[in-house]
Amino acid sequence: MPIINRKLNSLYKKKLKEVGAMAEKKENIRVEDQVRALIAQIESIRAEIATLDAAINALRQTVATLRTLKRLGAGKNVLIPVGSIAQVEMKIENLDNVVVSVGQNISAELSYDEAIKYIEDEIERILALRLVLEQTIADLYTQIDQLIRGVQGGEEQKEENK
């Protein structure tokens, strides 16, 4: 988790303790529960983002590997993994065609350029989804902020009225 997010999370957890300390009224306890629920949602979305990041890295690695293989040229020997501990030497005939998994257990042969484009489009699609999740996190932090300010505002009003 990036440092800024850990700091924000610990800031909100500190605020939550303050809200808890002020939680004499049932309403404040309800707010505390809402804030906890929102923090849990944020952490769940962060886990999703980590999964997407792993997928993006894997796809970028795939593109890099294909480009390197293309550059090395046809006729080159490569080691193909067989299981987790063995490798077998094979010769690349050509890299004009690439078989790409397109989902639902189906793979299709594409030209090298089509395959690169397909993978890059997939990376863009995942990045767009990642952006939506980050925005959702930002919106959730705004909700937490509003809840906490609402409680603090209520307490300040109570003090003024004394």
Partner 1 sequence: MQPNPREESLILQLQLIKAQLEQLEKVKEFLKNLSPGRKIYINLGEVMVESNYLEAMQYLEEKEKELKALLLQLESQISQAGLGLNLNQK
Which residue in 18, 33, 109, 121 binds partner 1 (CB under 8 A)?
A: 109
**Minimum gap (Å) between residue 101 Cβ and partner 1:** 7
Ramachandran category for residue 89: left, alpha or beta (phi over 0 → left; psi -120 to 50 → alpha): beta
| Percentages of the chain per state (helix, strand, coil), in multiples of 5 | 70, 15, 10
**Minimum gap (Å) between residue 82 Cβ and partner 1:** 11
- Region 84-103 residues binding partner 1, contact defined as CB under 8 A: 97, 99, 101-103
**Minimum gap (Å) between residue 102 Cβ and partner 1:** 5
Does 50 interact with partner 1 (rule: CB under 8 A)? Answer: no
Contact 147, 27 (CB under 8 A): no
* Structure token pair of residue 156: 């300040």
Which residues of this chain interact with partner 1, rule CB under 8 A? 97, 99, 101-110
